[in-house]
A and B are shown apart, each in its own frame.
Chain A
Amino acid sequence: MAKILKLKDINKIYGDKIKTQVLFDINMDFEESTFNSIIGESGSGKSTLMNIMGTLDRATSGDVEINGINISNMNKNELAVLRNEFIGFIFQFHYLLPEFTVMENILIPYRIKNKNITKEAISRAEELMEIVGISKVKNNKATDISGGQQQRTAIARALINQPKIVLGDEPTGNLDSSTTEIVYDLLRDINQRYKTTFIIITHDKRVAEKADRIIEIKDGRIEMDISRKI
């Protein structure tokens, strides 16, 4: 299977005077349409790794290749376009725009990419809302729905541009355990339905165990990397 994301000799050092190295020579790649989880204690460097994979942060040294393209020489605007088209983000907090409705929030990445909202975009948004189960609240303001519904909206938003990769940084960290279960099943379902690659950071061992592959990061190094044979 094709490699959708490759990390080569990634080092990350914070600070100018007092240097703190967070990541040490990380070499990793991810196959298309897989469901991966990254675990590790807080401060292990897993969020930094995710930000580098998501092009939100740059590595101090090393190369990141997304869909076969090396992003090291891309400028801010090129990276913005790449993120918009290839990557969907789900964070611990939903970060929905409270000024907009559920439907409008989901369409924002689409509107960043395209001038006009087409019928196809609306029907895609409706399909996604159906899948994540928020069709009933589609015209509510983002603040007028429950925490679980907000996170589902964020998931639908991450998927609207049909990204190749979805990066999740503790996407259920803010939800209760039963909702967590439902959301993960949902992500798995989407992974199988759309063949989207998922890379999810989580605390929750039970959640991690459901993934095709579990990577553990400890003190900036890969401690463990197990793949479940499908």
Chain B
Amino acid sequence: MRLAFSIAYRFLKSNKEQTALILIGIIIGVSVQIFIGSLIDGLQISLVDKTIGNASQITIVPDGKDKYFVEDKSMLDTLENNNKLTAVSKAYDNSAFIKIDEDTYPILLRGVEFEDANMIYEFNEKLIEGDISLSQNEALIGSTLATDNGLKTGDNIEILTPEGVNETLKISGIFDLKVSNLNKTWIVMPIDGARAIFGNDNQLTSIEMQVNDVFKADTIAEEIKSNLNNSSVDVVNWKEQNQELLSGLSGQSASSIMIQVFVLLAVLLGISSVLAISVVQKSKQLGILKAMGIKDKQASFIFLFQGLILGSIGALIGSAFGVFLTYIFSVFVKGPDGMSLVPFYLDYKFVGMSALIAVVASTIAALIPARNTSKLNPIEVIKNG
């Protein structure tokens, strides 16, 4: 075995151009694979983050046609102790109207506990003016609502509920959630204040949550549902509400895998054919080795080792180059806002896997040439001089 390895190594070393050619092939293959894979992964992660990063990923809502459910301390405690959840925020929402001059506009009055809600919506970071106030008759409004109506921090606004209650709130701050619909309709205030307006002391309209692994939101939602065992609530997750996004993502993943498979296939065919030529080139040496008593298996290993050596070196340099390409892309390809178009994202498991596949595949590609050595008859080689 050691002899086979050293012969393999010498064959590769003596034929530098051929070796370089195969190596470049593997390096390009592996780096393209890692580049494309990481790019698509990064894209998807940023897309998912933009879509649901600041939204509820799992939501407990009242079951059926009910508008509210009763706040249950033990339920909230269980949720807060669930380590798969990164944020738990209870909310009391109700639709109402805002009265400006003589006109009224429909709004959604959201009562939250800001400490919890910030974990999801990051109001604290998205304020464009003012502060988050904890006072019961103060509220945050969206930037679109503010600019459309010339409202600013410190102004008073009049809220009209469908039940006919009239309440004046003071604007403590203005947020911009980057979603125009929310910026136009949301008025966010402390939960107790919102409850007081509607006269519902102990009710909730939803419990909003975020999870550590967004793609497991559906299974986590299922778990929560069965653990709660509460017929008055239902648990929904972002996946069932964003089917189109999901099918888009899986289509993208499938095409990414297709590209990777074909790149790999091209590389394999390259290795296999160059090594097959090398068997013919080295047939005299193989012939004499056989005459001197090398066994067919040992002779085959010369080529398997060549595949292994080429695959290992190629995979190593290829993964480094692929990571480098991905990094360069994320640094230099930027959107109009100066942010990188695709964030640099590296899944070490994916890189390691790609490298491993390249090594295994290169060795497998060497199988055909290796088998050809068994067919080589030393007399044929020696007879032909």
Contact = CB atoms under 8 A, between A and B. Distances in A.
Interface in B254-304: 284-285, 287-298
B379 to A, nearest CB: 5
Which secondary structure dominates chain B's binding surface? helix
B3 A99 contact: no
A205 to B, nearest CB: 23
Contact of B289 (A92, A108, A113): A108
B383 interface: yes
B107 to A, nearest CB: 82
Interface in A96-142: 97-100, 108-109, 111-113, 115
Interface string B1-38: 01100010011011000000000000000000000000
A62 B306 CA distance: 41
A141 to B, nearest CB: 9
A81 to B, nearest CB: 6
A96 to B, nearest CB: 8
A112 B292 contact: yes
Nearest to B2: A115
A84 B383 CA distance: 20
A216 to B, nearest CB: 21
B190 to A, nearest CB: 80
A95 B13 contact: no
A198 interface: no
Contact of A89 (B2, B285, B291): B291
B298 A97 contact: no
A145 to B, nearest CB: 16
Contact of B292 (A57, A76, A108, A115): A108
Contacts of A54: 291
A93 interface: yes
Interface residues of A, number: 30
Nearest to B382: A91
B294 A80 contact: yes
B186 to A, nearest CB: 75
Nearest to B297: A77
B385 interface: yes
Contacts of A27: none
Contacts of A81: 293, 295
B337 to A, nearest CB: 58
Contact of A56 (B10, B11, B294, B378): B378
B288 A95 contact: yes
B271 to A, nearest CB: 20
A97 B11 CA distance: 9
B10 A83 contact: no
Interface in B328-363: none
Interface range on chain B: under 10, 10 to 19, 20 to 34, or 35 or more?
A: 20 to 34
A77 B296 contact: yes
A169 to B, nearest CB: 8
Contacts of B379: 51, 56-57
Contacts of B296: 76-77, 80
A98 B297 CA distance: 22
Nearest to A78: B295
Given A99-B10, A111-B3, A92 B385 contact: yes
A25 interface: no
Contact of B285 (A95, A111, A112, A113): A95
Given A95-B285, A112-B298, A83 B11 contact: no
A100 B9 CA distance: 11
A214 to B, nearest CB: 24
B3 A112 contact: yes
A100 B10 contact: yes
A219 interface: no
A111 B294 CA distance: 10
Interface string B296-332: 1110000000000000000000000000000000000
A97 B288 CA distance: 9
A112 B286 CA distance: 13
Contacts of B378: 56
B295 to A, nearest CB: 5
A80 B290 contact: yes
Given A91-B382, A108-B3, A99 B295 contact: no
Contact of A98 (B14, B289, B294): B14
Given A92-B385, A112-B3, A80 B10 contact: no
Contacts of B10: 97, 99-100
B281 to A, nearest CB: 11
A32 interface: no
A83 B382 contact: no
A95 B293 CA distance: 14
Given A93-B385, A95-B285, 14 more contacts: A56-B378, A76-B296, A80-B295, A81-B295, A83-B291, A85-B293, A89-B288, A95-B382, A97-B7, A99-B13, A108-B3, A112-B289, A112-B298, A157-B292
5 contacts: A57-B379, A83-B291, A97-B288, A99-B10, A112-B289
